[in-house]
Amino acid sequence: MTLRVYNTLTRKKEEFVPIEPNKVKMYVCGPTVYNYIHIGNGRPVIFFDVVRRYLESQKYEVTYITNFTDVDDKMIRKAEEMGKTVPQLAETFIQAFLEDTRALGVNDATLNPRVTENIQEIIDFIAVLVDTDYAYESRGDVYYRTSKFADYGKLSHQNLEELQYGIRIEVDDRKENPQDFVLWKAAKPGEISWDSPWGQGRPGWHIECSAMVRKYLGETIDIHGGGQDLTFPHHECEIAQTEAVTGHPMANYWMHNAFLNIDNEKMSKSLNNGILIRELIKQTKPQVYRFFMLLAHYRSPLNFSDDSLTQAANGLERIQNAYDNLKHRLATASASPEGEVEVALKDSVAAIARHFDDKMNDDFNTPDAITAVFDLVAEANVYLTQERVSAAALQHFLDQLNAFDLVLGFLSQSANELLDEEIEQLIIERTESRKTKNWARADEIRDLLTEKGIFLEDTPQGIRWRRK
């Protein structure tokens, strides 16, 4: 099945055809680094990581860029509150972002460009817009002239008249038109700023992505992504800026994930119901949160609650236990020649793998792809009930689970690593205690290990352990 992607621009699923064969240029808008990221921020971070992983699994060479907005009004205010410079504040929260996203199993981007590293490119971009009359200077600010770009509103499917009367825009006598947006902001006294042809100032929000996409990926890219809230005005403005300069489409496919609600309410500052990722993963395994995020299609709203997280934890535990049991049985299984797997088993696993790919090819349908993972787990669990199993068959199951996880990224690969020396010795001692029928000591050791988060299972193949 050919990969089909829902394009926000056309509002339909389209066959994915990259600009260059076997290569994908992908840009996803990153955070403004003035605070720790919350669970709503985690949805695009996790989803687009899965998009990238799946494309790579299909042998595409993916250049994946997500930016850091490291200077804007919020950052200036936050830096003043914390008694830091804006660059100091940015560095603190960039490192925090990387820590949090890596904990969620998100692979590092190919590049994370920062606004402050690309000031000259941004100024040069604005200068072209001014020279071609798409932008104008007004009292040290520079604004984009939306009335000159005939396609303004094509991404959000609105026209200028609808925007003028349907959306509240603050009146500003520096603008020719209320819908015009700022490209360069004149600096206030004491603010961080840079020299420009229009005086001291700094970039507006929208222009940074246009300049960085063109610099690092070219005039037209394959995929531009982000949260639904970025469709308008951010991505709409990016299109207007970029296409006015290049004369080419900015991106061939625009992808947007839907919102995350908390207990059926929109996450907002007024409700004070935001949950920071770094706080959540102190209480819940990060793999559970990642798994939860993939249980709904990315274009569908997702509701976060304690119950939904518990259900996700239970589902993931089923998958993880099957994975760990396969590895445990493999250590004691009868040897089998390489590739000697029962034909029926091999055909069944292949059918499940095709189902997985079919669902991922259908606009990255992760919930149905996860159904395929559960189908594989069910097959594996049935096989594991057999008294005699072959190493080749066990490895075949493991290879397919690993292939799925290479895309979805929620399995813990470390569950069967060696314990530390103290716990190893306790397990050995417990085994000896059982041999000598010292049941009291054996039970005592089991309880001690349980306290340390190590659970033991006595199986015909020996002691099996897992982490809490």
What sign for the dihedral angle of Cα 319, 322, 328, 332? negative
Contact indicator for 89, 79 with CB cutoff of 8 Å: yes
d(CA 250, CA 220): 5
d(CA 95, CA 186): 29
Give the number of other Cβ atoms within 10 Å of residue 341's Cβ.
20
* Angle value at C-alpha 182, between 158 and 27, nearest 5 degrees: 70
Q: What is the pLDDT of residues 439-467, one digit of tens each?
A: 888 888 888 887 766 777 766 656 766 65
71 closest CA partner among 45, 56, 93, 44: 93
What pLDDT score does 418 carry?
43
What pLDDT score does 57 carry?
97
What pLDDT score does 164 carry?
56
d(CA 373, CA 401): 7
Q: What is the pTM of this model?
A: 0.87
DSSP-H helix ranges across 385-452? 391-408, 421-435, 439-451
How do strand 181-186 and strand 141-144 relate by DSSP bridges? antiparallel
pLDDT > 90 fraction of the chain, expressed in percent and rounded: 76
d(CA 191, CA 168): 28
Residue set of the binding site for ATP? 269
The pLDDT of 136-155, averaged and rounded, is 96
Residue set of the binding site? 29, 209, 234, 238, 269
Tokens of 376: 């594989």
Tokens of 42: 């985690």
Q: What is the pLDDT of residues 61-118, one digit of tens each?
A: 999 999 999 999 999 999 999 999 999 999 999 999 999 999 999 999 999 999 999 9
SS3 190: coil
Q: What is the pLDDT of residues 214-241, one digit of tens each?
A: 999 999 999 999 999 999 999 999 999 9
Q: What is the pLDDT of residues 399-417, one digit of tens each?
A: 999 999 999 999 986 544 4
Higher pLDDT, 360 or 437: 360
Within the chain, all domains assigned CATH 3.40.50.620 are found at: 4-257
d(CA 108, CA 265): 31
* Peptide bond connecting 31 to the previous residue in cis, omega within 30 degrees of 0: no
Residue set of the binding site for Zn(2+)? 29, 209, 234, 238
Q: What average pLDDT does the structure give for the chain?
A: 91
Half-sphere exposure of 247 (CA within 13 A, CB side): 2
Q: With respect to CATH, is domain 4-257 assigned 3.40.50.620? A: yes
